[in-house]
């Protein structure tokens, strides 16, 4: 017959320390006597990237894309190969001058879409005709780099853009300095946004900042990543 008698201290094994989940850092720990301290749940917010994790597109750039661009443009050094430095997502919310809650709504939605907390953007001057004062929040913004940048780009190409109705590709208009801005009319193309809970349709601008100063090189870089340009076959 199995011994069911609890040893001294084990009876307190399920006891939670005073204060509930306000426990010391480092995960659940058992103190003397078997008392278990349960760590507090971390607040939801910025996406956490595991140490050593390499996104698919970042790996593809190092193993395939860089070599293709070197061959295409005849680079003699890997330092010459253009790379994606950052992605900036902007949402302008003009109606926020009449309803300040829209800024909070847009901030939460953009944070969910990108996995990084969005920050408000404010006006730089007064415009009486639009009831706008200097320092008033008029939009939200997120700047993505490294792993989060590649993860967002992957989701944009593979999931979000194909959800646009009658999608036929994106335009090839660059800014003359190797940067590209993509306009999105509705935030609901991103699956992170719950359509049943949205209060207003917001558009956004997604700007891809590259290390190149030439539009031709930047176009080739984004093309290799998989951005669906309309006339990509003509350009190749």
Q: What is the CATH number of the domain that holds 174?
A: 3.30.1440.10
In a domain, 221, yes or no: yes
Are 65 and 226 in contact, with CB atoms under 8 Å apart?
Answer: no
Domains held by the chain: number: 2
Domain of residue 19: give its range: 14-40
In a domain, 47, yes or no: no
- Whole-number Å distance between alpha carbons of 90 and 205: 5
Same domain for 35 and 116, yes or no, is no
Instruction: Going residue by residue through the chain, which has 236 residues, state the pLDDT in tens, using 9 for 90 and above.
Output: 444 444 444 444 444 444 444 444 444 444 455 544 434 333 344 556 667 789 999 999 999 999 999 999 999 999 999 999 999 999 988 776 667 788 899 999 999 999 999 999 987 776 666 666 777 778 899 999 999 999 999 999 999 999 999 999 999 899 999 999 999 999 999 999 998 888 889 999 999 999 999 999 999 999 999 999 987 654 44
Provide the β-strand partners of residue 142.
89
- Whole-number Å distance between alpha carbons of 79 and 76: 9
Same domain for 228 and 118, yes or no, is yes
Same domain for 126 and 33, yes or no, is no
- Whole-number Å distance between alpha carbons of 21 and 38: 5
Provide the β-strand partners of residue 121.
139
Which residue carries 């790996």 as its tokens? 59
Closest listed residue to residue 181, CA positions, set 163, 203, 151, 148? 203
- Phi/psi of residue 150, nearest 5 degrees: -70, -35
- Whole-number Å distance between alpha carbons of 186 and 202: 6
């Amino acid at each position: 017959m199995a011994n069911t008698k609890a040893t001294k201290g084990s009876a307190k094994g399920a006891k939670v320390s005073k204060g509930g989940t306000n426990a010391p850092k480092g995960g659940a720990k058992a103190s003397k006597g078997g008392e278990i301290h349960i760590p507090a749940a971390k607040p939801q917010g910025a996406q956490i990237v595991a140490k050593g994790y390499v996104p698919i597109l970042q790996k593809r750039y190092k193993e395939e894309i860089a070599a293709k661009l070197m061959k295409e443009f005849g680079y003699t050094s890997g330092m010459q190969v253009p790379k994606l430095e950052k992605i900036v997502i902007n949402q302008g919310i003009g109606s926020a001058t009449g309803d300040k809650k829209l800024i909070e709504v847009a901030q939460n939605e953009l944070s969910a879409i990108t996995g990084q907390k969005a920050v408000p953007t404010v006006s730089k001057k007064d415009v009486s005709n639009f009831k706008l004062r200097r320092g008033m929040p008029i939009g939200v913004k997120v700047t993505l780099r490294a792993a989060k940048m590649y993860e967002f780009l992957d989701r944009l190409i593979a999931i979000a853009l194909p959800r646009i109705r009658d999608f036929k590709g994106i335009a090839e208009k660059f800014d003359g300095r190797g940067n590209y801005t993509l306009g999105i009319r509705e935030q609901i193309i991103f699956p992170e946004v719950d359509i049943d809970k949205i209060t207003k349709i917001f558009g956004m601008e997604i700007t891809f900042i590259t290390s190149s100063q030439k539009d031709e090189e930047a176009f080739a870089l984004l093309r290799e990543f998989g951005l669906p340009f309309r006339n990509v076959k003509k350009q190749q």
